[in-house]
């Protein structure tokens, strides 16, 4: 997924899906300001459909060539703008895009702080996620290849990317089949995470006996696959800060 910031506006973004955030206390004003005459029509539709702008709720419609975007997903930001609201709004929009297989998606959620942009990246990953590796290729919906952020300067979203990738990795492990994921293979997955900052130690067999981990050994006797104890240690780069005592 390619993420970029662009000077395009909601009214000029030529994408498959435009995700447009609106506050619950100013839906019509926000839509008209962003999309002009089409926004006025969209506001009337929102009223007719009972859309209240609650966080993460959506209203999706085709644009009938009235703006360059093919479809628009109006997503609620709630009464008070918040980092979590941005995360949930982005996730809702990403889920709509993934369900339709949209390839080009633009997010117009206002000017984003660094924390909000990290939350947006997390939300997009969470909303896009599907555990479909065992589905036939024809049954899978494509992931967006181009994601635009409108009306916001670029921030460092490295933290959001790391958190999002970690969450998806964890969800893959939880969703995996038991004949694929068992103690030995889970240890293999963990060892693959080893790096300059992460060390991985795996105990099994005699080491578990030596450490008197009787509960784990007892549970493990119910399977022909022996138990593993996995210990990961993260060491940040740089010199550790001294703790201050109050």
Q: Provide the pLDDT confidence category of residue 35 given band limits of 50, 70 and 90.
A: very high
- Biggest CA–CA distance in the chain, Å, is 74
Residue-wise pLDDT tens digits, 133-151: 999 988 888 889 999 999 8
pLDDT given for residue 155 in this prediction: 84
For the residues 10-16, what does the mean pLDDT come to?
97
Whole-angstrom distance, CA of residue 187 vs CA of residue 105: 37
pLDDT at 239 over 80: no
- Tell me if 98 sits within 8 A of 143, measured CB to CB: yes
Closest to 126 (Cα-Cα) out of 80, 88, 176, 182: 88
Q: What is the percent of the chain with per-residue pLDDT over 90, rounded to a whole number?
A: 86
Phi-psi region of 110 (alpha: psi -120 to 50; beta: other; left: phi over 0): left
Q: What is the percent of the chain with per-residue pLDDT over 70, rounded to a whole number?
A: 96
Residue-wise pLDDT tens digits, 49-72: 999 999 999 999 999 999 999 999
9-to-90, 151, 191, 237 alpha-carbon distances in Å: 17, 7, 45, 40
Residue-wise pLDDT tens digits, 149-162: 998 888 888 999 99
Residue-wise pLDDT tens digits, 14-29: 999 999 999 999 999 9
Three-state secondary structure call for residue 75: strand
Closest to 102 (Cα-Cα) out of 73, 136, 138: 73
pLDDT given for residue 242 in this prediction: 65
pLDDT given for residue 175 in this prediction: 96
- Tell me if 226 sits within 8 A of 204, measured CB to CB: yes
């Amino acid at each position: 997924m390619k993420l970029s910031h662009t000077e395009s506006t909601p009214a000029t973004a030529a994408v498959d899906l435009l995700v447009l955030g609106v506050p619950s206390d100013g839906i019509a004003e926000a839509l008209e300001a962003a999309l002009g005459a089409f926004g006025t029509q969209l506001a009337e539709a929102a009223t007719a459909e009972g859309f209240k702008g609650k966080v993460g709720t959506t209203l999706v419609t085709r644009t009938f060539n009235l703006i360059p975007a093919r479809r628009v997903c109006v997503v609620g930001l709630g009464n008070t703008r918040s980092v979590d609201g941005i995360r949930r709004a982005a996730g809702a929009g990403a889920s709509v895009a993934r369900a339709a297989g949209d390839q080009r998606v633009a997010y117009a959620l206002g000017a984003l702080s660094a924390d909000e942009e990290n939350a947006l990246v997390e939300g997009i990953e969470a909303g896009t996620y599907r555990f479909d590796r065992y589905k036939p290729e024809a049954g899978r919906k494509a992931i967006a290849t181009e994601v635009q952020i409108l009306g916001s300067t670029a921030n460092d979203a490295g933290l959001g990317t790391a958190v999002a990738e970690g969450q998806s990795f964890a969800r893959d492990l939880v969703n995996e089949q038991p004949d694929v994921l068992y103690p030995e293979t889970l240890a293999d997955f963990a060892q693959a995470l080893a790096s300059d900052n992460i060390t991985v130690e795996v105990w099994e067999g005699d080491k578990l006996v030596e450490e008197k981990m009787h509960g784990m050994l007892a549970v493990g006797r119910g399977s022909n696959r022996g138990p593993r104890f996995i210990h990961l240690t993260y060491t940040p780069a740089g010199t550790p800060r001294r703790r201050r005592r109050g």
